[in-house]
Amino acid sequence: MLALLFYSLVGGLFSLFGGIMLLLRPKLTIRFIVPLIAFGAGAFLSAVFFEILPEAIEMVEEPHPILATVLVGFVAFFVLERLIMRYFRKGEVKHQHSEHTESLPTLLILGDALHNFLDGIVIAFAYLVNPALALPTALAIAAHEIPQEIGDFSILLKAGWGRTKIIFVNILQSLLTIPGVFLGVYLSRTIEPVMPFLLAFTAGIFLYIAASDLIPELHHRSSHRHFFRIIVPFLTAIVGLYFLIGLTHSH
């Protein structure tokens, strides 16, 4: 069990490395906040289409229920965001763009928390198949989530969060790999049949965050002149994560 605890920490906390390095240069981060948000949007889309969704589809014979579950996740977070905007917004002000995006940190944390929990379950499944596979799986999870965590940290900085708060919250949600690992071990036969749908639901959440919050935020914060400043980091995240995921899956 100590080995599993170590693997869960590797899978969860090592992915924070890129984001923490980003916080060491906060002024530089603020200067490049628009490219970083673009990078984050690309990272989320890559995680959905190159990692989470293909993995969910591979686990089932019929993909249509998986795709329907992606839509459920997307719609669920749309409803959740409207509820947050309706009942938890600060003050009674007329609608403005910032009112839409003030719920983004909450959605981001919830989506990442669920994803980290599921990563823990994946590590546990790998361990049950072959204990030697657990560490490579944990390292692969950490590696392909580093770009996504950079995007997360930049988005929270843009929302006005302090560095200490960002690190504390991200450490807490990263530690959710630990209960995911142990739940995956003790309830492996129960969780395994629904795992594809949990992954698909997470894919829907990430797709919603990228398409409904991050990309509109890029349109709002940048002028028409900022083409390459947005497109280059956006495509870099997509292409980079594609090759990184391919590399981790080839081992």
pLDDT single digits (tens) 115-160: 788 888 878 877 776 677 677 667 767 765 666 677 777 778 777 7
Average pLDDT, the chain: 78
For the packed helices 104-129 and 134-158, what is the interaxial angle rounded to 10 degrees?
180
Q: Is residue 133 exposed (0-12), middle (13-18) or buried (19+ Cβ within 10 Å)? A: middle
Model confidence over 187-239: pLDDT tens digits?
Answer: 777 877 888 898 888 888 889 878 887 788 788 767 666 788 889 989 998 89
Token pair for 215? 């990309």
Structure tokens at 72: 């459920």
CB 126 within 8 A of CB 133: yes
Determine the pLDDT at residue 93: 41
User: Cα separation of 152 and 213, whole Å?
Assistant: 12
What CA–CA distance (Å, rounded) separates 185 from 100?
40
pTM metric for this prediction:
0.67
Higher pLDDT, 213 or 27: 213
Question: What pLDDT sits at residue 193?
Answer: 85
Report pLDDT digits (tens) over 99-121: 555 667 877 888 788 878 888 88
For the chain, the structural domain boundaries read 2-249
